[in-house]
Structure 1
């Protein structure tokens, strides 16, 4: 077993190209993707802020026109005079050629100034296209904010003391309204994505190397030569499983260290991430990653055993990869507190445990159950692999 183990590790670590492709290339790609997404998002937000909103108004009163001029908003205002023009503007909104349409009642200023108790309250109608970013931004800025400020201005002209209309205020002078544990909040933010990225990188790495260890050797004919040597087949199985587990474990540690160091910087200084991982958390994550690597390695090798070549092995493993990936993503969208039963579900429990470690919410009992379930399932699959290696029918596929 030790000889097989060393042989597999030597095949990886003595090849500089293999070391780069297994340990460095995936994390560089992932960091590059995250940096690109962050950069594109920043550019998109900057573009929306710098965009000159195209706003059409119908029956606009002079008071509102003067209010907009004083507000110095970055927008191009155009008037709509007829119903035909109104229909054209509605079409332009659909096509994204206009950002916002504001329709005032006729003689709006007269209605406001001549208002008496019991009169119908004038209604300003706004139209926008939520599928267009520019339109949504214009609606938020002008319809929700500017019109509300305009309403307050008109109201102040009608009411002598505005405070008489306020029964109470909410957080008008409360600087300490946000009460949270920054460590827990940062851990929760990383905990939502970390299990997902670990699943992608860890399983994908094991998939590429593991299929070559079994199906690749079958295809090249070296597996047949290995099986006729005076070596116990159980030793061959364990040697390959532990070698793949070691490689996957090392790669996962590299992924997490690099992602943990670069993630807050990629998001920018205002990300709010201020995570300090304790030595205890590092040990818990490290031990769990070893168990996950063992389980994923067993899955990959088991499916590769029943394949004749690399192509067939990839066909078998891809559905398993998708299942594990979907289960890992489930923790990103769950809000309820996980119970002990959840930690009995394979694959899902590891994602929960990783998230719980970062937020300091997982108990030692839950962690222990997750670790035990992962190792036991990996051990069962390894036993099945050993049994399959004893079958000449399976190994001669």
Structure 2
């Protein structure tokens, strides 16, 4: 109770008429200086174009791969085969399963590493004789295991050959009057219960990371320039001898960085909302909820994270020796939220109630649920607002208390 009264009293002192006037004066000064720096402003707006552009390129790359690998609605991929005509039944089966048979010469097998193929399926010449004598035909799969992208294709070819082997075994048993169940006592049936929305999060998993990066990148240059940059230009001392109080000086600088971050992040959200509404996600077999109300919820969830990110940047830059050091330290700060984002990116189904109480993780969960079309409880927004804004106020309080110290003034 005493802590609440103390915070309330300090808040009332901070927002009285005199402090509001000083805060507004500092804000106008910093806001004007920020927009005068054309180069820094252009660099700050680059993420809005870069992130959305990279998302568009990755989406159309995935879409193009899927279209190229489909013939008559069946997923296909090239399968280089040597002597495919010697075993017509196998060749027909591979084509039915989606393989695009490519005939290769014997020289290709001998010089596979120098050829355009990563692997070759070899059909022996004596395959008919082996089948007549009820002996297994010795197929051979030659490949270069050092190539990382070949293993998935090899697994597909193996599965096709195994399924063909099971079918042919069943046919041979039936021809001899033996039940198929003798050779296959167990059958496995797979059923995927994931909905289209749940599968779509694997494609849209980069959006929370993109927004978190934008929040922590947009205001770095301005936060560093308003603190370490002013000390390096010897203008911080002149600013501190003015009647402006520290309780108005730091919030005025923070408000400038916050509004710039808010503008840039809002533009990214608007561009993403337009992009997700016009992109043909149905061609990938996924469904995305891109309603305006959902994007407003996402923006509302990221506002306190913007406040926390800019407050941390102000605090870290205040103790940096130079403008360059401040940019370096604040850039390294990005790795902390990215660690949490990577955790949820590789475990998209992970969820616990305490996630909402952790900055960045709470925003990631809200974005994920919103894009999936799930209802986001209003209590989750209250939780992220409460934690992030409290941490932001703590950072600003520490910065206001330390800005007049000798270590900060003289670096």
Question: How high is the TM-score relative to the length of structure 2?
Answer: 0.74
Q: Distance in 2 between matches of 1:138 and 1:146?
A: 13
What value does the CA root-mean-square deviation take over the aligned residues? 4.0
Report the alpha carbon displacement of residue 197 of structure 1 after superposing the two structures with TM: 0.6
CA contact (8 A) 1:53 1:99 kept: no
Q: Distance in 2 between matches of 1:179 and 1:155?
A: 30
Q: Distance in 2 between matches of 1:311 and 1:5?
A: 23
CA contact (8 A) 1:218 1:224 kept: yes
Specify the alignment match of 1:145 in structure 2.
160
Specify the alignment match of 2:387 in structure 1.
373
Of 239, 264, 272, 1:251 maps to 264
3-state DSSP class of the match of 1:276?
A: coil
Residue 112 of structure 1 pairs with residue 139 of structure 2: no
Q: Distance in 1 between matches of 2:215 and 2:313?
A: 11
Specify the alignment match of 1:126 in structure 2.
141
Q: Distance in 1 between matches of 2:147 and 2:68?
A: 13
Specify the alignment match of 1:55 in structure 2.
81
Structure 1 unmatched ranges of 5 or more: 80-84
Equivalent residue pairs, number: 375
Report the alpha carbon displacement of residue 258 of structure 1 after superposing the two structures with TM: 0.7
Residue 165 of structure 1 pairs with residue 180 of structure 2: yes
Q: Distance in 1 between matches of 2:388 and 2:153?
A: 51
Of 16, 25, 29, 1:3 maps to 25
The more displaced of 189-198 and 2-11 is 189-198
For 1:1-397, list aligned pairs within 5 A.
Answer: 1-13=23-35, 20-23=42-45, 25-40=46-61, 54-56=80-82, 62=86, 64-65=87-88, 68=91, 73-79=100-106, 89=109, 92-93=111-112, 97-103=116-122, 107-115=126-134, 121-129=136-144, 132=147, 139=154, 143-145=158-160, 148-149=163-164, 152=167, 156=171, 159-160=174-175, 165=180, 182=196, 186=200, 188-189=201-202, 192-263=205-276, 265=278, 270-271=283-284, 272-277=286-291, 279=293, 281-335=294-348, 337-359=350-372, 360=374, 362-397=376-411
Q: Distance in 1 between matches of 2:173 and 2:335?
A: 64
Report the alpha carbon displacement of residue 340 of structure 1 after superposing the two structures with TM: 2.7
CA contact (8 A) 1:52 1:76 kept: no
The superposition leaves residues 249-296 of structure 1 with CA deviations (integer Å, 9 ceiling, x where unpaired) of: 1211111121232246567651323313363x4443233221011100
CA contact (8 A) 2:173 2:179 kept: no
Q: Distance in 2 between matches of 1:133 and 1:390?
A: 57
CA contact (8 A) 1:5 1:239 kept: yes
Q: Distance in 2 between matches of 1:202 and 1:114?
A: 70
